[in-house]
């Protein structure tokens, strides 16, 4: 967006985008200054020789002499420059208004704008990073570095953010340390509405290096960090935090044959199960029971929720029972199913097929092929941890394990 000087135009915001990474394209072409000045000296002599044939030659000579006098007397560097604003619209009337607004804004800077209609496509192409060699030389003008830099109003040296929260970076030109807040301060000012980041770069460009650096400093300033990764990019940092906190933080979940990934969704440090925790357990059990294309009835969801609530009350009253999937399965099989048969209002198998539920979930019970998945003996309450990494590279293609891991991640995130 290009914003003209406040109060001088009826429309204070222009919809414009530049053909580079800025709203307007700013180009300085640094050439051999002495060669340029010598060429102007020759042109000035030619204009002087032809002055009596045309007044325009006299005027051109005066301009060239003025340019040369400034360059020689003040030791200025001769350069070529080009500045443009590329704007568009699908509506012809809006495009006309944008054109007028851009022209008015440039006129307020005491510049004479020229509406380019001939080679706009060429300028757009030349403005794409890497295409500067295709820039048309006739679209530039000769000036000096100092006045040309007046158009770089948005360019400056890197400065420290005023925010107390941020990350430590470094100015690549000078090496000076910089305190930078790229999330909270911009959000507080209303510049952004979320903290999302999209990091793009080829292999080896430093994406994971920067992210490791960023999340470590966020963690050290009290932030909660949850990473979902493929490629073990954060294993080293997680191990560092784990050793630094003596195992109190820095939890790394990954899947190997020697130590398969495992959780305990029924564990909390204080036996407190809020609504979100209970709902996440029910969602997990329904995911394990039903296929993606199988509908869940209200009766099934209600009965499963009642079973979870009853189990929670049981482990609260009897702390000798270890909260885990194995004991929940045993409670569902040995306590809840007989209780359903004694009810005054019977629940039929067509309404809630508990036998089918037990059969489906048996593979996650002790002795089943996935008995490790929901019976972790690490007993970690993820909600109390501030640095958690889920390495899902080995399970992302497993249709049985991946949904469970995803739900556990969602529980920790929410």
Q: How many residues does this entry show for the chain?
A: 414
Q: Rounded to whole angstroms, how far apart are CA atoms 36 and 30? A: 11
Two structure tokens written together for 295: 């509908």
pLDDT digits (tens, 9 = 90+) for 106-146: 888 888 888 888 888 888 888 888 888 888 888 899 999 98
pLDDT of 24: 64
pLDDT digits (tens, 9 = 90+) for 199-234: 998 988 999 999 999 999 999 999 999 998 888 899
Domain boundary, last residue among 124, 149, 174: 149
Q: What domain range includes position 284?
A: 275-413
Predicted confidence (pLDDT) at residue 329 exceeds the cutoff of 70: yes
Domain boundary, last residue among 131, 149, 167: 149
> Is residue 225 in a domain?
no
- Identify the bridge partners of residue 168 per DSSP, sorted by sequence position: 179
Most confident of 172-186, 206-220, 257-271: 206-220
Give the model's confidence band at 84: pLDDT under 50 very low, under 70 low, under 90 confident, else very high: confident
- Name the residue among 355, 365, 282, 370 with its Cα closest to residue 330: 365
Rounded mean pLDDT of the chain?
Answer: 85
Predicted confidence (pLDDT) at residue 414 exceeds the cutoff of 70: no
pLDDT cut 90: percent of the chain above it: 39
> Is residue 198 in a domain?
no
Question: How close are the terminal C-alpha atoms of the chain, in Å?
Answer: 35
- The domain tally of the chain equals 2
Predicted confidence (pLDDT) at residue 20 exceeds the cutoff of 60: no
> Is residue 367 in a domain?
yes
> Is residue 154 in a domain?
no
> Is residue 34 in a domain?
yes
Most confident of 67-71, 85-89, 388-392, 399-403: 67-71
Q: Rounded to whole angstroms, how far apart are CA atoms 365 and 324? A: 10
Helix (H, G, I), strand (E, B) or coil at 127: helix
pLDDT digits (tens, 9 = 90+) for 40-68: 999 999 999 888 888 898 998 999 999 99
pLDDT digits (tens, 9 = 90+) for 288-312: 898 878 889 999 999 999 999 999 9
146 in Cβ contact with 77 (< 8 Å): no
The widest CA-to-CA distance across the chain, in whole angstroms, is 119
The Cβ of residue 151 has, within 10 Å, a number of other Cβ atoms equal to 16
Predicted confidence (pLDDT) at residue 313 exceeds the cutoff of 90: yes
pLDDT digits (tens, 9 = 90+) for 332-371: 999 999 999 888 888 888 889 999 999 999 999 999 988 9
Domain boundary, last residue among 116, 149, 182: 149
pLDDT digits (tens, 9 = 90+) for 369-398: 889 888 887 766 777 889 999 888 888 888
Two structure tokens written together for 52: 């009596």
CB-based contacts of 243, cutoff 8 Å, min separation 6: 250
250 in Cβ contact with 404 (< 8 Å): no
Q: Rounded to whole angstroms, how far apart are CA atoms 107 and 98? A: 14
Residue 194 Cα to chain centre, angstroms: 9
> Is residue 370 in a domain?
yes
pLDDT of 309: 95
> Is residue 137 in a domain?
yes
Q: Rounded to whole angstroms, how far apart are CA atoms 128 and 21? A: 8
pLDDT of 372: 87
> Is residue 268 in a domain?
no
Give the model's confidence band at 17: pLDDT under 50 very low, under 70 low, under 90 confident, else very high: very low
């Amino acid at each position: 967006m290009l914003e003209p000087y406040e109060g001088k135009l009826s429309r204070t915001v222009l919809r414009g985008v530049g053909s580079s990474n800025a709203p307007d394209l700013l180009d300085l072409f640094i050439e051999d200054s002495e060669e340029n000045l010598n060429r102007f000296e020759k042109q000035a002599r030619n204009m002087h020789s032809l002055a009596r044939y045309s007044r325009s030659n006299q005027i051109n000579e005066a301009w060239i002499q003025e340019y040369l006098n400034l360059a020689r007397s003040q030791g200025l560097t001769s350069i070529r420059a080009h500045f443009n604003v590329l704007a568009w619209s699908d509506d012809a009337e809006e495009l006309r208004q944008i054109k007028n607004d851009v022209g008015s804004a440039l006129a307020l800077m005491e510049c004479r704008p020229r509406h380019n209609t001939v080679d706009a496509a060429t300028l757009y192409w030349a403005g794409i990073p890497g295409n500067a060699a295709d820039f048309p030389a006739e679209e530039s003008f000769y000036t000096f570095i100092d006045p040309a830099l007046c158009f770089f109003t948005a360019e400056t040296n890197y400065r420290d953010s005023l925010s107390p929260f941020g990350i430590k970076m470094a100015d690549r030109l000078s090496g000076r340390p910089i305190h930078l807040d790229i999330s909270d301060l911009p959000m507080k000012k209303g510049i952004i509405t979320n903290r999302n980041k999209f990091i793009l770069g080829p292999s080896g460009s430093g994406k994971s290096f920067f992210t490791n650096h960023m999340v470590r400093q966020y963690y050290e300033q009290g932030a909660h960090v949850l990473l979902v990764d493929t490629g073990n990019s954060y294993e080293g940092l997680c191990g560092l935090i784990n050793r630094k906190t003596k195992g109190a933080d820095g939890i790394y979940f990954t899947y190997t044959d020697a130590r398969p990934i495992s959780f305990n969704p029924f564990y909390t440090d204080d036996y407190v199960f809020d609504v979100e925790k209970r709902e996440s357990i029910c969602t997990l059990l329904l995911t394990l029971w039903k296929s993606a294309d199988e509908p869940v009835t209200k009766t099934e969801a209600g009965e499963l929720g009642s079973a979870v609530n009853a189990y929670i009350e049981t482990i609260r009253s009897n702390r000798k029972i270890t909260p885990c999937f194995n004991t929940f399965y045993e409670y569902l099989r040995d306590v809840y199913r007989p209780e359903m048969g004694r009810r005054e209002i019977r629940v039929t198998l067509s309404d809630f097929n508990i036998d089918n539920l037990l059969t489906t979930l048996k593979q996650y019970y002790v002795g089943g092929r996935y008995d490790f998945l929901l019976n972790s003996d690490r007993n970690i309450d993820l909600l109390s941890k501030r640095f958690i990494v889920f390495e899902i590279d080995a399970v992302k293609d497993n249709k049985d394990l991946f949904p469970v891991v995803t739900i556990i991640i969602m529980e920790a995130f929410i």
